């Protein structure tokens, strides 16, 4: 590396640590990320950076790593502009590849059966089993589940109606196991629900069950039934 480039990189690292207050570790990583192009800083044009990004992508570098490298290069070029060593930042406007979205995890059939293996017949247990069977059967969003009222269910047609995102009405099927679990819950619902409470699922205080409570109860049964992973409503919905 040319002495001039080494001096610039050193000053850039000092800038990151003292003015930007980056940690030593982050600053060192930035130095590594700009190393490939730092020696050519005075000659770099936007097409050079695009070609560089394309090449490291072809070489198999992941999208997030490329995003990090381009972010470091952009910061370095901004520093050079600030120091009047460049007129414009050639990295401005360079689009980074999108990192692939992480797909929601799922439970396999054995794990679902393990989670739903609830033999207790007290009202809370019957309620929780109905909740989880319904989430698994119908693919409900948590926000939709907690707003359900008994009137939204059509047991005979094995379906339910929900108001989803964008205030759109959706009709969803209900599986036979979920139907049975709901029927068992409805037999004891009055033991918990306060008078005139319209919610399908209520807390031990008798009011509509909250989203946080549903999350807590699902996690409770996952641990109780020996599942080795954190189970949450969204995971059950996609299983």
Residue 31's CATH number: 1.10.150
Q: Is 201 exposed, middle or buried (0-12, 13-18, 19+ CB in 10 A)?
A: buried
Q: Please count the structural domains in the chain.
A: 2
- pLDDT, mean of each 10-residue run, the chain (239 residues): 70 82 80 76 82 80 81 86 87 70 67 92 97 91 93 94 80 92 97 96 96 94 88 74
Let me know whether 73 and 129 are in one domain: no
The CB density around residue 191, as the number of other CB atoms within 10 Å, is 13
Q: What is the pLDDT of residue 200?
A: 98
Let me know whether 120 and 75 are in one domain: no
Q: What is the pLDDT of residue 1?
A: 46
Inside any domain, residue 100: no
Domain limits at 61? Answer: 3-82
Strand partners, 160: 153, 172
Q: What is the pLDDT of residue 97?
A: 62
Q: Which residue has the tokens 């700009």?
A: 34
Distance (Å, whole) CA 40 – CA 44: 6
Inside any domain, residue 95: no
DSSP state, 152?
Answer: G
Q: What is the pLDDT of residue 211?
A: 94
Inside any domain, residue 37: yes
Let me know whether 157 and 210 are in one domain: yes
Q: What is the pLDDT of residue 100?
A: 56
Inside any domain, residue 89: no
Q: What is the pLDDT of residue 103?
A: 47
Let me know whether 153 and 196 are in one domain: yes
pTM tops 0.85: no
Inside any domain, residue 228: yes
Q: What is the pLDDT of residue 34?
A: 83
Residue 127 in contact with residue 187, Cβ under 8 Å? no
Let me know whether 193 and 131 are in one domain: yes
Boundary residue ending a domain (63, 82, 101): 82
Q: Is 175 exposed, middle or buried (0-12, 13-18, 19+ CB in 10 A)?
A: middle
Q: What is the pLDDT of residue 150?
A: 96
Residue 156: CATH number of its domain? 1.10.443.10
Inside any domain, residue 99: no
């Amino acid at each position: 590396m040319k002495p001039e480039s080494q001096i610039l990189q050193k000053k850039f690292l000092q800038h990151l640590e003292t003015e930007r207050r980056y940690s030593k570790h982050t600053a060192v990583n930035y130095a590594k990320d700009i190393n490939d192009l730092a020696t050519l800083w005075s000659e770099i044009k936007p097409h050079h950076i695009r070609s560089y990004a394309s090449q490291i992508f072809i070489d198999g570098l992941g999208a997030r790593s490329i995003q990090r490298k381009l972010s470091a290069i952009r910061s370095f070029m901004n520093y050079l502009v600030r120091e009047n060593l460049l007129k414009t930042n050639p990295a401005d406007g360079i689009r980074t590849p999108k990192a692939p979205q992480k797909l929601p995890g799922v439970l396999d059939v054995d794990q679902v059966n393990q989670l739903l293996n609830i033999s207790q017949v007290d009202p809370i247990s019957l309620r929780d089993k109905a909740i989880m069977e319904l989430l698994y059967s119908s693919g409900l969003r948590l926000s939709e589940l907690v707003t359900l009222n008994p009137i939204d269910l059509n047991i005979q047609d094995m379906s339910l109606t929900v108001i989803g995102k964008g205030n759109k009405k959706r009709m969803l099927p209900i599986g036979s196991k979920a139907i049975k679990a709901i029927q068992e819950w409805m037999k004891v619902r009055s033991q918990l629900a306060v008078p005139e409470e319209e919610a399908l699922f209520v807390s031990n205080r008798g009011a509509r069950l909250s989203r946080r409570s549903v999350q807590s109860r699902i996690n409770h049964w996952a641990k109780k039934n020996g599942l080795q992973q954190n189970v949450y409503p969204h995971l059950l919905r996609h299983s």
